[in-house]
Amino acid sequence: MAFISVKTTAPMTAEVETLLKKQIGQAMSLIGQSEASLMLILEGNQSLYLRGENQQMLLQGVVDD
C-alpha cells in the first residue's frame, strides 16, 4: 500500500482535495498500482519552515511505499 502525505501553506478547499485525490489516484497507474491501494493525507493551511524561515507558499510531499 502506498502512503502519500501532502502539506501546503495554502488553503485547501474540499473541491481542491477531491481534485488532488483524483489526480494522485490516476497517477498511481504509472507505477502499476491503483487508487484502491493508496492511503492519502492532504493538509492545507500548514506552517512550514525552510532553513528556519516561515514560508508563505510552500508545498511538501512525502511518499512511502
User: What domains can be seen in the chain, in order of their start residue?
Assistant: 2-64 (3.30.429.10)
Confidence of residue 56 (pLDDT cuts 50, 70, 90): confident
Report the chain's mean pLDDT, rounded to a whole number: 86
C-alpha 32/C-alpha 10 separation (Å) is 31
Q: In what order do the strands lie in the sheet with 59-64?
A: 38-43, 2-8, 59-64
Q: What is the pTM of this model?
A: 0.72
Q: Specify the residue for cell string 488532488.
A: 20
Let me know: does 48 contact 55? Beta carbons within 8 Å. Answer: yes
C-alpha 2/C-alpha 65 separation (Å) is 4
